[in-house]
Amino acid sequence: MEITKVILYAGKGGIEKTTIAAATVCRSSELGHRTLFPSTDAAHFLVDSFSISFSNRPQLIAPNLMAQESSTPQTFNAYWGTTQK
């Protein structure tokens, strides 16, 4: 049985949540764990941590490590029809 773990960093702005989360996912992937880093930060600071532009879909950025920056308006538009049904 595979165990899935979710780590969530929350708090007020400017306390380095993205930096700490980036370090965590890098180490997790280095240890061989399949790791997804989904950022929902409207400021899109994930690009600052990895110097890569991200999309709304997960993309491989290192072995065992995928990342994405969700756009709330884009996600809302993509799933509004499903929500209405």
Averaged over successive runs of 10 residues, the pLDDT of the chain (85 residues) comes to 87 89 95 91 76 85 92 76 70
pLDDT confidence of residue 57:
86
Q: Is residue 32 part of a domain?
A: yes
Q: Is residue 9 part of a domain?
A: no
Looking at every residue in the chain, the average pLDDT score rounds to 85
Cβ partners under 8 Å of residue 35, min gap 6: 25, 28, 29, 64, 65, 66
Q: Structurally, how many domains does the chain consist of? A: 1
Q: Is residue 39 part of a domain?
A: yes
Per-residue buried b or exposed e for 32-62, using 16+ beta carbons within 10 Å of the residue's own CB: eeebebebeeeeebbeebbeeebeeeeeebe
Q: Is residue 74 part of a domain?
A: yes
Which structural domain range is residue 69 located in?
Answer: 17-84
pLDDT confidence of residue 83:
66
Q: Is residue 28 part of a domain?
A: yes
Distance, in Å, from the CA atom of 9 to the CA atom of 25, rounded to the nearest integer, reads 12
pTM score of the predicted model: 0.75
